[in-house]
Amino acid sequence: MTPLEIAPGAVHVPGWLDMAEQRELVAACREWARGPVPIRHTVLPRGGVMSVQTVCVGWHWQPYRYTRTAGDVNGERVADFPGWMGDLGRRALTAAYGEPGDYTPDTALINFYDGDARMGMHQDKDEKSDAPVVSLSIGDSCLFRFGNTETRSRPYTDLRLDSGDLFVFGGPSRFAFHGVPKVYPGTGNPETGLSSGRLNITMRVTGLT
Ligand SMILES: O=C(O)CCC(=O)C(=O)O
């Protein structure tokens, strides 16, 4: 549970979620995956399809904007961002930075990685706010690549994110490129409620009203 600063403003807190919290998050995500906007592989503007499956709460993300309704899926409004998740986000900031500030996340992107799913190096920059991103990992471990704000390539730091880990990036690292080059199948604990695959939840402040 000792916070490790990976870069200025980017903090890894291994083993932050206990098993009961991981189970509760898996159960909540399973519900959201069913609807009102079901989990799906996001289609990119040039026709590519993301290998991860994504469902959102609070706001719906599609490349490269947020909307309340999911025009690219079924036109429904996404589930509300629950108050308990905001509390979890503030606890996460306290664990990473020592205090929560006025952190008020209003969206979460929930990504499910199975098979060979991965995520290329990218910046989270569709938010109109520079508030930190809180990332929670459950299930299979992965190789997480955390880079710099200028380029997709080096310098970057490779680290392993395990089930229960928290990663927060804000301040000078808020717009750093990052990605998931590899998931390690079979490394998760089925007690989380996930028999296979990896779940990642990122909370963000959209800055939208
Ligand atoms: O799965 C992860 O750990 C990272 C997810 C991510 O980069 C994103 O949702 O933008």
Give residue 20 CA to ligand 1 midpoint distance, Å: 23
What proportion of the chain, given as a percentage, has pLDDT over 90? 100
103 is written with which tokens? 């952190």
Q: Which residues line ligand 1 (CB under 6 A)?
A: 109, 111, 119, 124, 135, 137, 144, 178, 180, 200, 202
Atom of ligand 1 nearest to the CA of 135: 3
Give residue 178 CA to ligand 1 midpoint distance, Å: 8
pLDDT at 122: 98
Give residue 110 CA to ligand 1 midpoint distance, Å: 9
Going by alpha carbons, the residue nearest to atom 6 of ligand 1 is 179
53 within 8 A of 112, measured Cβ to Cβ: yes
Q: Which residue among 135, 162, 203 has the greatest number of ligand 1 atoms within 8 angstroms of its CB, and so is best to mutate?
A: 135
Give residue 133 CA to ligand 1 midpoint distance, Å: 10
Question: Is pTM beyond 0.85 here?
Answer: yes
Q: What is the DSSP string of 22-62?
A: HHHHHHHHHHHHHSSS--EEEEPTTS-EEEEEEEEESSEEE
Give residue 77 CA to ligand 1 midpoint distance, Å: 23
Task: Tell me the pLDDT tens digit for each residue of 149-200.
Answer: 999 999 999 999 999 999 999 999 999 999 999 999 999 999 999 999 999 9
Give residue 87 CA to ligand 1 midpoint distance, Å: 20
Torsion angles phi and psi, residue 64, rounded to 5:
-135, 65
Task: Tell me the pLDDT tens digit for each residue of 9-35.
Answer: 999 999 999 999 999 999 999 999 999
Domains and CATH numbers, the chain: 4-204 (2.60.120.590)
pLDDT at 1: 76
Mean pLDDT confidence for 73-90: 98
Sign of CA dihedral 151, 52, 159, 66: positive
Going by alpha carbons, the residue nearest to atom 10 of ligand 1 is 124
